[in-house]
Amino acid sequence: MTIRRGLLSDLFTGVVAKRLTLVETVTKKSNQHEFQGTKPFKALFGFDDQAGIPTRFVMLTGEQEGITEDGFVSWSNVRKGKPRAPEYHLYYSGNNVTEAMHVDDTMFLARRPNGSILVVIAPKESTLDAQLRWLFGLDYRPTPDEEFKDIAHDQAAELDFAARYILDELGIEIEEAEVDVLDAILAPLENKFPTTAAFSALARESLPDVNPLDSVDAALMAWLEREEAMFRRLERSIVSERLRTGFLSDEEADVDGFIDFSLSVQNRRKSRAGYSLEHHLGAIFAAHHLPFDRKPKTEGKAEPDFLFPGGKQYHDASFPSERLTLLGSKSTCKDRWRQVVLEGARVEKKHLITLEPSISEHQTNEMQAHKLQLILPKLLHATYKPAQQGWLMDLEGFVNLVRSRQAP
């Protein structure tokens, strides 16, 4: 489903977050497939019975992995017609997601404007848990057993870069605004993708008023957002054209052709974001006249994304190691930050830039323990817990650090 870019209330009317208990999960001891109808659920569903509400169940389990199932939930007063006080339960259909739920996982159950439900299961205190809490405006304190948030009338929760990042992980796409502007930019490409470097350059050229010498953080975000919008618009046009031609081979359904095309679309999406970030970072470093090498060899097969001032100095034993700076670039961090730690033995403290909002405290504490400094564009710092924000570095701070190390 796609919608216009706007507010979170365009997507959801309300959400319940709760820690799962033993009786709510599917185990040998419990197979009830239901949640107790407590106050937060009553605030979301009201007091009328509702059967067979279409529901999408999602569990993200790791790097580019996840489970998505379609099913239903039903809300009912199980004591209806009886003299005893009402007792509400929310029944859920069994599927691969609900089978994989664990005690203390966080369930986010959100209602869409069309009445359907999205259920997302996140491991306790995981990055996904933190991201969804930020997205829905829920408290950062240790999660209470249950919590309801009314979203329908929230006019402040805009779908900014961080929100769209999280929604994209959940498979919810936002329709891009200013399509006329995007179409004019993309027209010379004739409905074909150029190289990733050329595409990133086109995004920068389309924003002539953005100057990385004024603000590196603002420039990076502006370029990334423009390229993301361009990519989605061009991808939609190319996919639509391919779907119109159909998938037939000798008048029979070309299943293999359809699967190959689908995989090519997914792989392009996954790889493009990482290349985009690297291209724009390179343009920023060049604008600031910072000497660097991209993907030089250090030890063995290790090739860091950026090395300042370069590989030649790294392999020169007489060059002071304290003047070397190693930067990893991961648009989505997940657990891949560990790769950066191993990419340059001469650099004791390494740096990693990512676009991933709300990485869990557990992960950032591990990064600190491994002497890895996390960098995010300044705009994304607010998605992190207050205790984390003081440690984070923005891109301007990193540029200033490299400049100070390279000064004569």
pLDDT at residue number 350 = 98
Q: How many CB atoms lie within 10 A of CB 388?
A: 21
Inform me whether the pLDDT recorded for 220 exceeds 80: yes
Inform me whether the pLDDT recorded for 296 exceeds 60: yes
Inform me whether the pLDDT recorded for 278 exceeds 90: yes
Q: Which of 166-180, 243-257, 324-338 has the highest mean pLDDT?
A: 324-338
Inform me whether the pLDDT recorded for 215 exceeds 90: yes
More confident residue, 32 or 48: 48
Give me the percent of the chain exceeding a pLDDT of 70.
Answer: 95
Residue 159's pLDDT band (cuts 50, 70, 90) = confident
More confident residue, 310 or 21: 310
pLDDT at residue number 276 = 95
Query: If you average pLDDT over every residue of the chain, what do you get?
Result: 89
Inform me whether the pLDDT recorded for 31 exceeds 80: no
Domains of the chain, start order = 2-175 (2.40.330.10), 179-277 (no CATH), 293-406 (3.40.91.80)
219 burial level (CB within 10 Å; 0-12, 13-18, 19+): buried
Residue 30's pLDDT band (cuts 50, 70, 90) = low
Inform me whether the pLDDT recorded for 389 exceeds 90: yes
Interval 95-135: pLDDT, tens: 999 998 989 999 999 999 999 999 999 998 889 999 999 99
More confident residue, 371 or 236: 371
Residue 314 annotated to the active site: yes
| 318 residue type, one letter | S
Dump strand ranges (E) for 20-140.
34-36, 50-62, 65-77, 88-92, 106-111, 117-122
pTM (two decimals): 0.87
What are the CB-based long-range contacts (under 8 Å, 24+) for 246-252?
A: none
* Coil, strand or helix at 143: coil
Of residues 90, 5, 1, the one with CA closest to residue 45: 90
Inform me whether the pLDDT recorded for 3 exceeds 50: no
Inform me whether the pLDDT recorded for 157 exceeds 90: no
Interval 302-339: pLDDT, tens: 999 999 999 999 999 999 999 999 999 999 888 889 99
